[in-house]
Chains A and B, each alone.
Chain A
Amino acid sequence: MTDIRYLAPKTLDEAVGAFAAAQGAARILAGGTDLLVQMRAGVIRPGLIVDIKKISEMTSIEETAGGGFRIGAAVSGAALGEHPRFGRVWPGVLEAVNLIGSTQVQGRASPGGNLCNGSPAGDSVPAMIAAGAVVTVQGPAGRREMPVEAVPAGPGRTNLKPGEIVVSFTLPPRPAGSSDAYLRMIPRTEMDIAVVGVGVSLTMAGGKVTAARVGLGAVAPTVLLVGDAARALIGSTLNEASVEAAAAACRAACKPIDDKRGTIVYRTKVAGVLLKRTVAIAADRAKGG
């Protein structure tokens, strides 16, 4: 029965100030597709809600010099989908972001919210990790940058410091012959939560992989960057042995739990299957297919 205060500041400094001053009693509202559900379920009862959608840096998409992208943390999936070039450069990140919720949810849900919710099953997170995305964070002590994989700390927890807000994602420029893909296993065909999610980013030259990153979700307390899987792919022509080695690396990286959404055995096996399928799609795209 506590009252909830609502603030919608126009600047990040105001937002950080109010957020930090509330000392843990505040929650950030971007799209609200997790926050409002958790409040209605009685899981959390914030004393203050800081709506960040009035802060232009957090809702804009910019192309950086050299062809990278800077995406405001509160940009909705639908807005990202409507950007004329983003999906051509980062089709895997876009398909991952666009898998969050239904069409209606897409009008609200943001990659920043998906990351800060801390769910190991967040769809955009493995794709962002595979993309090598870096987040800009602003807090009472100023700004800093973190790779996406450094943000999650465990289910529902992040490594953000008190009062810190994720401002934006920066995705690097893409060399020629690069692309990415994201696949998830869900029992249904939509409106579901990943049992396993795999993001793969590849750069190909002369039929060989010159760079690769693999993000793996829903199989451990946090979304993982699977370095061994990338190393198995780099330098290869994506022959069966190297892809199988990458799949094995994904299976080895799994530290899943048995729960209502899947068993340990199931998740581990599916991680390998999805790695292979995701690599195939990313490679096809990288080759201009």
Chain B
Amino acid sequence: MSSARLDLKSLRKSFGPTDVLADINLSVQPSEFVSILGPSGAGKSTILQLLTGAIAPDGGQMLLDGQPLTPTQHRFAFMPQGDALMPWRRIIDNATLGLEVQGLGRQAARARVSPLFAEFGLAGFENHYPVQLSGGMRQRAALLRTVVQQRPMLLLDEPFGALDALTRAHMQRWLADMWTRHRWTVLLITHDVREAVLLSERIYVLSARPARVAHHFQVPLNHPRHSVGSPELAALEAQILQTLLNPED
């Protein structure tokens, strides 16, 4: 496992008397799409906070490409819940946010980002404000803002949670499509079993708090996976849902 992009070993975290993460062991290989599924309140987002350096772990190891993570490193491109677009910035200036924080000038950052608008289905909307875009477009803009940072790994925190069911299904297919083309290394947090099955190569299922990895699933299916009527997908989805609903089995 020395070739893992991300390796978490015996990761622990408590907030005061509350143990949130008891023992988290997981790994993500380069160009792999991995999901973490778990009941709400299980500490899924806490794992991302630990990775982005917002909080420090109480124990365990976090290794990126074999090197321990330090809080001052910012090696991940993080997409928070919702879209977190700044309402006062035009879409292009939202997309360049990470590059600007990295110290790139506004013009240079725009030049780097503009060619990607077409692929993200946002061509012609560069100078619109977020409020003028539909929910799906906003999510695509947020993902664009995430990938242009060119970090070794993407962290997505329930990216489609706020969308209506139909838009969410569209966005999941779109993201699966984008991933097969770009092969980003992705860690996705979700509580949507179908989303995890549609998008991931491997799925970690967390137990209730204090969280440990309760189950680990491989998704042995090739992209594109059709969300409607595939018996393999449905079977895997049912199996994962079963483990989530009956954690003691």
Q: Do A and B come from one complex?
A: no
